Amino acid sequence: MAVLPIITIPDPVLRKISDPVERVDDAVVKLMDDMLETMYAAPGVGLAAPQVGVLKRVAVIDAAEDGQPPNPIAMANPEIVALGSTTRLHEEGCLSIPDVRVEIERPAAVTVRYIDRAGKEQELAAEGLLATVIQHEIDHLDGQLIIDFLSRLKRDIIIRKFKKQARS
């Protein structure tokens, strides 16, 4: 396993839509393992393949609460099949936009269908933080970022700051 470099804005890869995984083979499992190691090292609670420069529909998540044992979830081709009727406001951060936090209102519960690391289709009903993280990571696979929930002015200020940092 390896810790991979995490891509940050304004890298255009973060805005591209990821391709579906044809099948979960050794290369995809290795990607999942490397992504988990990268996510834990960052540290974060979720990571999508585009964040490490791979345009595949792969995401890893571990939303275990402090003091709980790790509960890693690796997903290929995650797809939300149901959204809860209530919403949850949560301040989200993103490993690709360091030191920026955005308060986002999302459905408080989701059901997601995906292929696990063994190549088996799974369905998971999630709520709270796990539901938020699933939606956040699927946004990445669709080329969307947390700053897209901000006004154009705030978004542009953040992007300019990161472009300036990238130049220096």
Alpha-carbon distance values, 34 to 76, 99, 102, 111, 155 (Å) = 14, 23, 27, 26, 30
Helix (H, G, I), strand (E, B) or coil at 5: coil
The active-site residue, picked from 91, 103, 123, 137, is 137
Burial of residue 2, with CB atoms counted within 10 A of its CB: 0-12 exposed, 13-18 middle, 19 or more buried: exposed
CA within 13 Å, CB half, 29: 8
Question: What gap in Å lies between CA 5 and CA 75, rounded to an integer?
Answer: 20
Does 79 qualify as catalytic in the annotation? no
Q: Which two tokens stand for residue 136?
A: 């956040």
Residues with catalytic roles: 137
